[in-house]
Structure 1
Amino acid sequence: MRTILKNAKRLLPSNKLEDCEILIEDKQIKEIRSVINEEADREIDVKGNVVLPGFVDVHIHLREPGGEHKETILTGTKAAARGGYTTVCSMPNTNPVPDSSETVNALFEKIKQDAQVRVLPYASITKNLKGEELTNIEELADLGVFAFTDDGVGIQTADFMLQAMARAKKAGASIVAHCEDNSIVYEGVVHDGKVSQSLHLPGIPPISESVQIARDVLLAEATGCHYHVCHVSTKESVRVIRDAKRAGIHVTAEVTPHHLLLNEEDITTASTDFKMNPPLRAKEDQEALLEGLIDGTIDFIATDHAPHAMEEKAKGMLEAPFGIVGLETAFSLLYTNLVQTEKITLHQLVEWLSIKPAEVFTLPYGKLEENAAADITVVNLNKNSVIDKETFFSKGKNTPFHDWKVTGQPVLTMVEGNVAYIDEEDIHG
């Protein structure tokens, strides 16, 4: 199957756009030239829109198996494709947990059956995510899991984390951590600050995150393991990670779109669409996150797409589950609020959505070049729209960004040359 993308523009490192056409064959990009005059089985006219390397999200929740009322592999990956994502990494807080060869192999089979984009699943660090017994990290790494995490809960003892890192290092695997010291969370549901006081809600202190990162970077130094920090949210965490990198420790980190674009002051009512973990922090934390992203302390952006059923989110701030969806809104929100406001460039955004996550985890994706996988996201940078949660492909409608006006939208997503999503209003072919 030979496909040519006609009338495209590609982004140069200078942030200029250059006319191009792309020939795709055998799941790869065969040629990128200004004009390609060759025969093909299919031509897709992208009408002057911008071709980018497919987005890579190393932190999403697909909920299946066990949470199909929230999301499935099918609906979650359809949402990913609509958002421009060609590779996503699914977290292991499912039922059953992928913590054995049997459950991991079953998950691989379900992914092969239903996924609309590439899904690389995590395995858990501890059995059943209980923090009581380590999984067989070496065996599961051999099966091809993406990395190891107990995302949703922090590893509470240094002993367990030290053992996990040592074994992961031996297996050539990464440890990915949700950092939270349960002894100082105090059953909080929002950031411990102005809003927790005004809404009379229990607060989560920022130190509960940063203290565990500080512990873990020293353990990573001792073991030589690649240690990756999920959804950084506080200025103290940024400082610890920056210092660790300066010391030569193999630590990397991610930040979410919602922590970049919102802070606690955006929570004006006790709406559970603003309940996520880690919570929206203070304005100075938000500013430190963007600064850390720009200076390289934080490596890239991941959505932490966390769908829940409407009836679950309707239980109120104290009882509703943590989490919001993000796959379908990430690019448009970040482009509108960071690129168009000239806080960052489009090339920087593409680095953080595509190039850097692939590089950090040595994935052969996130590249728009000849002989690379034909994972391509086409975006219409001029398309204006209003975020409408009722139109989401995801089962989850839990977003604080409903009714936000945005510019810029993925209109075509291709995985290994196959169309995973197409906006028929913009693209024909």
Structure 2
Amino acid sequence: MPARAGRARVSGDTVFRGATAVLPGGPVLADVVVGGGVVTAVAAPGTLSADEVVDVRDRILLPGAVDVHVHFRQPGFEHKEDFRTGSAAAACGGVTTVCDMPNTHPPVSSAERFRAKRDLVEGTSHVDHGLWAGGTDLPELAAMAGLGAVGVKVYLNRSHRADDPYADELSMPDAGTLSTLFRACASWALPVAVHVADHDQEVRLRARLRAASTTDARLVSRSYRGDGVLDALARVLAAAAGTGCRVHIAHASLAPVAALDRIDAARRAGVRVTAECGPPALLEDDLDRLGVLGVPFAFPAGDAEAYWSALADGRVDLVATDHAPHTRQDKAAGLDDVWAAPPGYPGVETVLPLMVDAVLAGRLSWSRLAELTSAAPARLCGLGGKGAITPGADADLVVVDPAATTTVDAARLHSRAGWSPFDGRRLAGAVTATYLRGRAIARDGELLPGPPAGRFLTPEGRARP
């Protein structure tokens, strides 16, 4: 960064003055100038000027978070969420880009359905958004790649309940089909995100645990982390080896902790594999209070510490929420039988506050936070211009007050679900403002007036159809 000199005027609409900006090279005190929706300059504080000055002294300036694993439920499950409400939650939590999964109704398994979903949500999202493709039909997947899919989502699991949004057409029938799909996606330069599971072993484990109790939500969470997941992971990594495909392990925390080292070993052996998890911020003891509202991402204390360590040391590459909103009525199915409730909870509005809290607790550095929540997810999905504060990048910025505190209040959150397992949680730090391409879209947890400005994103180098 240049040394301080006389204040220079640069081309730009706004200068964010005096923040600790978390840049690709690390946090520095800086002025960040924005013009035309992009970052135009970064320099020592007090050296740049523009038409408008935003005083962000004593604040942290982060790149907008990129959540590559959300379920905004549209089309087909709008009673749970849609892009308008889900993206409002994202904006208010400091997430400026989301990538939505294909397990909707109907599932996004054809070019026609991909195009229909893209057009359906156009003009309704408050943040930028990409779409994952699903299914196993290679010609349809190739067509969806041409329409701008950010990747292909593969499901090795199956439904356990009638209301599970996992249509058979999204499920992988056998290892041979998986290997063929990996080779095809490598040729299209698309990542494949995998929900790793061994359905038959999971069914048997669930039956044993259900026989032990129908009221202990801990057992439901544990049912997703049986040894069958490790067997399935081994098959996925073996199928990926030698294909050149970028394989991404979705919600790695839905596997035994041993999976972390197995993924890392495959990476060191040359497999192009990455892994995600959400903040491991719920413990099994919390389920005494939450019940099924905390399923499935609640952990024994030792496992939670292992996931935090993996986020810090790089064995987990990025943070993604698996934002999975359900209504209270949906979850109430588990009041008498915890196995009857759908898994998942809303997380897109609380993910960055939870991660900021982790930084201020000493678990992570600001640079590692920016890598996990912004740079790495943007790289995974090929979203050029996202994930970093650097000249030429989109001016997606988040202002954090490290001296403030946040108390999660479910009544103020914006997901249609209307609840959060983190309700009442007191966190260090506060997300105070979110900017999308230089325009303020949320402040102090509230959406600002104005029409939704989110754009449909395609991987870098692929034109919007």
The verdict on a shared fold, with TM-score over 0.5 as the criterion, is yes
| 1:244 counterpart = 2:262 | no
1:275 to 295, 309, 319: 295
Partners of 1:356 and 1:191 in 2: CA distance: 39
2:146 to 133, 137, 142: 142
Following superposition, the deviation at residue 378 of structure 1 comes to 1.2
> Aligned pair in 2 of structure 1 residues 134, 309: CA closer, same or farther (>3 Å)?
farther
| 1:82 counterpart = 2:92 | yes
Partners of 2:102 and 2:322 in 1: CA distance: 13
> Aligned pair in 2 of structure 1 residues 10, 190: CA closer, same or farther (>3 Å)?
farther
> Aligned pair in 2 of structure 1 residues 221, 261: CA closer, same or farther (>3 Å)?
same
- Alignment-derived partner of residue 174 in structure 1: 191
2:106 to 84, 96, 109: 96
Tell me which amino acid in the other structure corresponds to 1:243.
Answer: A
Contact 1:53/1:376 (8 A) holds in 2:
yes
> Aligned pair in 2 of structure 1 residues 185, 101: CA closer, same or farther (>3 Å)?
same
Matches within 5 A, 1:8-407: 8-11=19-22, 17-18=28-29, 20-33=30-43, 34-35=45-46, 38-40=49-51, 42-46=52-56, 48-126=58-136, 136-150=140-154, 153=158, 155-186=172-203, 199=216, 201=219, 204=223, 205-233=225-253, 234-257=256-279, 260-268=280-288, 271-276=291-296, 279-316=297-334, 317-336=338-357, 338-364=358-384, 365-407=386-428
> Structure 1 vs Structure 2: percent identity of aligned residues?
29
> Aligned pair in 2 of structure 1 residues 84, 135: CA closer, same or farther (>3 Å)?
farther
Following superposition, the deviation at residue 12 of structure 1 comes to 6.0
Contact 1:15/1:345 (8 A) holds in 2:
no
- Alignment-derived partner of residue 164 in structure 2: none
Partners of 2:260 and 2:379 in 1: CA distance: 20
Tell me which amino acid in the other structure corresponds to 2:313.
Answer: D
Tell me which amino acid in the other structure corresponds to 1:346.
Answer: W
Unmatched tracts of structure 1, length 5 or more: 127-132
Partners of 1:160 and 1:406 in 2: CA distance: 45
Following superposition, the deviation at residue 105 of structure 1 comes to 1.3
Partners of 1:144 and 1:14 in 2: CA distance: 30
Question: Which deviations, in whole Å up to 9, do the C-alpha atoms of 1:344-374 show, x marking residues without a partner?
Answer: 2222122211122223333221110112111
Unmatched tracts of structure 2, length 5 or more: 1-11, 159-170, 449-465
More divergent stretch after superposition (312-321 vs 148-157): 148-157
Contact 1:50/1:381 (8 A) holds in 2:
yes
| 1:414 counterpart = 2:435 | yes
Question: Which deviations, in whole Å up to 9, do the C-alpha atoms of 1:57-112 show, x marking residues without a partner?
Answer: 11111101111111110111111111111111101111122222221112222333
Partners of 1:362 and 1:351 in 2: CA distance: 15
TM-score under structure 2 length normalisation: 0.81
Following superposition, the deviation at residue 135 of structure 1 comes to 6.2
Contact 1:54/1:84 (8 A) holds in 2:
yes
Give the secondary structure class of the aligned counterpart of 1:80. helix
| 1:5 counterpart = 2:12 | no
The count of residues paired between Structure 1 and Structure 2 equals 412
Following superposition, the deviation at residue 122 of structure 1 comes to 0.5
Partners of 1:39 and 1:331 in 2: CA distance: 29
Following superposition, the deviation at residue 244 of structure 1 comes to 0.3
> Aligned pair in 2 of structure 1 residues 411, 274: CA closer, same or farther (>3 Å)?
same
Tell me which amino acid in the other structure corresponds to 1:186.
Answer: V
CA RMSD of aligned residues (A): 2.8
Following superposition, the deviation at residue 396 of structure 1 comes to 1.8
Contact 1:245/1:297 (8 A) holds in 2:
no
Contact 2:24/2:390 (8 A) holds in 1:
no
Tell me which amino acid in the other structure corresponds to 1:155.
Answer: M
Give the secondary structure class of the aligned counterpart of 2:376. helix
Partners of 1:171 and 1:122 in 2: CA distance: 14
TM-score under structure 1 length normalisation: 0.88
Contact 1:189/1:275 (8 A) holds in 2:
no
Tell me which amino acid in the other structure corresponds to 2:276.
Answer: E
Partners of 2:204 and 2:344 in 1: CA distance: 16
> Aligned pair in 2 of structure 1 residues 265, 356: CA closer, same or farther (>3 Å)?
same
Give the secondary structure class of the aligned counterpart of 1:318. helix
Contact 1:138/1:171 (8 A) holds in 2:
yes
Partners of 1:14 and 1:137 in 2: CA distance: 37
Contact 1:54/1:376 (8 A) holds in 2:
yes
Partners of 2:25 and 2:32 in 1: CA distance: 20
- Alignment-derived partner of residue 162 in structure 2: none
Partners of 1:254 and 1:190 in 2: CA distance: 28
Following superposition, the deviation at residue 197 of structure 1 comes to 9.4
